Structure 1
Amino acid sequence: MYVPPAFRDTELASLHGAIRAARLANLVTATAEGLLATPLPLFLEEAEGEQGVLYGHLARANPQWKQPALGEALAIFMGPDAYVSPGWYPTKAESGKVVPTWNYVTVHATGPIEFFEDPGRLLAVVSRLTEQHEAGRAMPWAVADAPESFVRAQLRGIVGLRLPIARLEGKRKLSQNRSEADREGVAAGLAASDDPADQAMGALIPR
């Protein structure tokens, strides 16, 4: 990923935070059949390894797990993003030398990938993912709420994945390359939007 110095994020806590906040990742592997990609939820086990380990699962019918990866796998996590109008820059009125851009937060996690079929490990993964995404609900659903025989049958339809993170690349493109006045204009423009995604990005603009 191309990351200019002004946008580079190297803080492990920040990178892990972006991973945890992302609701969906894209898992990409290069294979002899070409590039394969699957959108799927992953969870981060921070206590494993130096940079953490990612866990998730694929449908057994998905060919991605059957095709050996050529080199490392890549998990792409996207955070908030928003279009930035040049009309929000005070610089527009001063010189007119402005263009549109896009602000966003993203983390790329790279490492060797392994797939597993052990029912016990699969149950642990789906339980952890469920707990993560049900947390905060008034009546959270749990895997144990379903009949045990049904859960066992469902587990036969998936394959687990484990990706020890060997390298993390983070990019936080938040108008850091603009003047303070321009950043204020971007923050105000995004805050005034009716789109919650725009508002989330506006709150991240450094001032």
Structure 2
Amino acid sequence: MYIPPAFREDDLPAIHATMRAVRLANLVTATAAGLLCTPLPLFLDETEGEFGVLYGHLARANPQWREPAQGEALVLFTGPDAYVTPSWYATKQETGKVVPTWNYVAVHAYGTPEFFEDADRLLAVVTRLTNLHEGARERAWAVDDAPPAFIAAQLRGIVGLRLPIARLEGKRKMSQNRSEADRAGVRAGLAASEGEADRHVATLIPG
């Protein structure tokens, strides 16, 4: 990922926070069959390794886990984003020398994927993923709400993923390269948007 110095995010807790906030990541591997990509819900275990370990699962019928990765795998985490119109810049009124852009947050995680079929490990991953996404619900569904034989059959249809993170790239492009007046214009413009995502990005632009 191309990261100009103004947009580089090196703070590991901030990078991890972005990863945790992304509900659906994309696992990309280069294989002899070509590039393969699978959208996946993943969870991050920060207690393992220097940068953490990602866990999830793929459908057993998905060919990606059977095709050996050539080099590292890439996991894409796309955070908040918003279109920025030049009309919000104070510079537009001063010189007119402005163009549209996009503000966004992104993290790229690299590592060697490990796939596993052990039923106990699969159950642990599925349970942790379920608890993660059901936890905020008033009446949370739990894996053991379903009949054990049914869950066992479902586990036979998936393959687990463990990806120790070897390196991370973080990018936070939030108008840091613009003047204070331009940033204020972008904040105000996004804050007035009808889109919830735009209003969220407004809160991320530095003062």
What's the TM-score once normalised by structure 1's chain length? 0.99
Distance (Å, rounded) in 2 between the aligned partners of 1:161 and 1:127:
14
Q: What does the per-residue CA deviation read over 1:92-127, in whole Å, with 9 as the maximum and x for residues that have no partner? A: 011100000000000000011110000000001011
1:114-153 to structure 2, matched below 5 A, reads: 114-153=114-153
Question: 1:55 maps to what in 2?
Answer: 55
Distance (Å, rounded) in 1 between the aligned partners of 2:98 and 2:203:
22
Question: 2:19 maps to what in 1?
Answer: 19
Distance (Å, rounded) in 1 between the aligned partners of 2:135 and 2:201:
24
1:157 and 2:154 correspond: no
Q: Secondary structure at the match of 1:70?
A: coil
Distance (Å, rounded) in 2 between the aligned partners of 1:144 and 1:186:
48
Distance (Å, rounded) in 2 between the aligned partners of 1:134 and 1:180:
41
1:83 and 2:83 correspond: yes
Deviation at 1:159, TM superposition (A): 0.3
1:162-181 to structure 2, matched below 5 A, reads: 162-181=162-181
Distance (Å, rounded) in 1 between the aligned partners of 2:193 and 2:149:
48
1:186 and 2:167 correspond: no
Q: Secondary structure at the match of 1:187?
A: helix
Distance (Å, rounded) in 2 between the aligned partners of 1:179 and 1:3:
19
Deviation at 1:91, TM superposition (A): 0.7
Which one-letter code corresponds to 1:111 in the other structure? G
Distance (Å, rounded) in 1 between the aligned partners of 2:38 and 2:121:
21
Distance (Å, rounded) in 1 between the aligned partners of 2:190 and 2:164:
36
1:4-15 to structure 2, matched below 5 A, reads: 4-15=4-15
Structure 1: runs of 5 or more not aligned: none
Distance (Å, rounded) in 2 between the aligned partners of 1:27 and 1:51:
17
Q: Secondary structure at the match of 1:104?
A: strand
State the number of aligned residues: 207
Distance (Å, rounded) in 1 between the aligned partners of 2:37 and 2:67:
12
Q: Secondary structure at the match of 1:17?
A: helix
Question: 1:69 maps to what in 2?
Answer: 69
Deviation at 1:13, TM superposition (A): 0.3
Structure 2: runs of 5 or more not aligned: none
Q: What does the per-residue CA deviation read over 1:42-94, in whole Å, with 9 as the maximum and x for residues that have no partner? A: 10000000110000000001000010000111100011000001001011011
What's the TM-score once normalised by structure 2's chain length? 0.99
Which one-letter code corresponds to 1:94 in the other structure? E
Deviation at 1:193, TM superposition (A): 0.6
Question: 1:202 maps to what in 2?
Answer: 202
Q: Secondary structure at the match of 2:23?
A: coil
Distance (Å, rounded) in 1 between the aligned partners of 2:190 and 2:14:
22
Deviation at 1:135, TM superposition (A): 1.4
Deviation at 1:136, TM superposition (A): 1.2
Distance (Å, rounded) in 1 between the aligned partners of 2:147 and 2:5:
52
Question: 2:43 maps to what in 1?
Answer: 43
User: RMSD of the TM alignment (CA)?
Assistant: 0.5
